[in-house]
C-alpha cells in the first residue's frame, strides 16, 4: 500500500461540485481517501487571463503503482469532461500527483515528485495543511520548510 498526495483543481463551472465529484471518483477507482485539505482559491498561475482556481489536496492510500495511478487519474479527468486545449488554460478538473511516499519517477507520463511542487504555493499550502512534516524526497526538506522558502507570490485563500 502506498500513500499518494494528489492536488485536484479547476476553474470552469461549479468548481466545488467538480472537486467533490473528482474526490468520489478517485475513491471509487483508485483507493481510500484518508485525508483532505480545505479548499483554497488562487489566481491562475501561468496563463493568468482566466478565472481563479479552486484547489484541494487529497491523501490517498492505494495499491496501484505510480503509472497505474496516473493512468486512472487521467481517465477520471477525461470522464469528467476535461479537454486539454490550452496548456495551463481553463479546465473543469485537473488532477496532479504531487508525491507518492518517497518515490522518484521520471517517465514521459509521470514525474515524481511533481517538478513544480516547490514553486507553487497553491499546492504547498494545502499540502502543508495535511502533511506539514512530509519530507520531499529530492529536496530533503519538509513541506513546511519548502513553503517558507517558496518565491511564489500568488495569494492563496482558504475558503470558509
Catalytic (active-site) positions: 82, 91, 94, 96
Contacts by 47-50 with C-beta closer than 8 Å and gap 24+? 47/86, 47/87, 47/88, 47/89, 50/11, 50/89, 50/90
CA 145 to chain CA mean position, Å: 19
Provide the 8-state DSSP code for 88. T
Provide the 8-state DSSP code for 43. -
**In this structure, how many other beta carbons lie within 10 angstroms of the beta carbon of residue 149?**
11
3-state secondary structure of 28: helix
Cis before 24? omega within 30: no
- C-alpha 88/C-alpha 40 separation (Å) is 18
Amino acid at each position: 500500500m502506498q500513500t499518494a498526495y494528489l492536488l485536484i483543481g479547476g476553474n470552469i463551472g461549479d468548481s466545488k461540485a467538480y472537486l467533490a465529484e473528482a474526490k468520489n471518483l478517485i475513491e471509487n477507482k483508485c483507493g481510500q481517501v484518508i485525508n483532505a485539505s480545505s479548499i483554497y482559491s488562487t489566481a491562475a498561475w501561468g496563463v493568468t487571463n482566466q478565472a481563479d482556481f479552486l484547489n484541494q489536496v487529497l491523501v490517498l492510500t492505494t495499491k496501484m503503482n505510480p503509472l497505474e495511478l496516473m493512468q486512472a487519474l487521467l481517465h477520471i479527468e477525461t470522464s469528467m469532461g476535461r479537454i486539454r486545449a490550452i496548456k495551463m488554460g481553463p479546465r473543469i478538473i485537473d488532477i496532479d500527483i504531487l508525491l507518492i511516499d518517497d518515490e522518484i519517477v521520471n517517465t514521459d507520463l509521470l514525474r515524481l515528485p511533481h517538478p513544480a511542487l516547490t514553486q507553487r504555493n497553491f499546492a504547498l499550502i494545502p499540502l502543508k495543511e495535511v502533511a506539514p512534516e512530509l519530507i520531499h524526497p529530492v529536496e530533503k526538506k519538509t513541506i513546511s520548510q519548502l513553503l517558507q522558502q517558496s518565491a511564489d507570490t500568488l495569494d492563496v485563500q482558504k475558503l470558509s
